[in-house]
Amino acid sequence: MTTEAAPPPGSAGPSVASSTAEEFVSVQQSPEFAELRRAHRSFAFPLTVAFIAWYLLYVLLSNYAGGFMGTKLFGNINVALALGLAQFATTFLIAWLYARHAAAQLDPKAEAIKKRMEAGA
């Protein structure tokens, strides 16, 4: 699907959309793109595995360690509720860490690749 819309105001240089498939393949095979993928994977994969393990631990504890999960911490707050809320906190923490990582590590590399493609180099 193609569109005939004009580029957004303020954009300069040729559009990446005018690049050929060969140019995209060549960029994909470049060392810069490999470094971008490595930077993404080295952050995303370990955190994904850690979070899934943490979630499965919570599920397994809920199913097989009812006595432990029912232990009251204070008032009506028990271990299950505290760990369940920690799941939400962990999700937001990971999202915040990824946003920081992307801004510091991924975005500059992706921008350099984009500029190189737009320049036709």
Each residue's pLDDT tens digit, 71-95: 999 999 999 999 999 999 999 999 9
Q: What is the pLDDT of residue 117?
A: 86
Q: What is the pLDDT of residue 3?
A: 63
Q: What is the pLDDT of residue 111?
A: 92
Round to whole Å and give the CA distance between 105 and 94.
Answer: 16
Q: What is the pLDDT of residue 46?
A: 96
Q: What is the pLDDT of residue 11?
A: 59
Residue 83's nearest CA partner among 48, 116, 59 is 59
Residues of the chain scoring pLDDT < 50:
none
Q: What is the pLDDT of residue 50?
A: 96
Give the count of beta carbons closer than 10 Å to the beta carbon of residue 36.
19
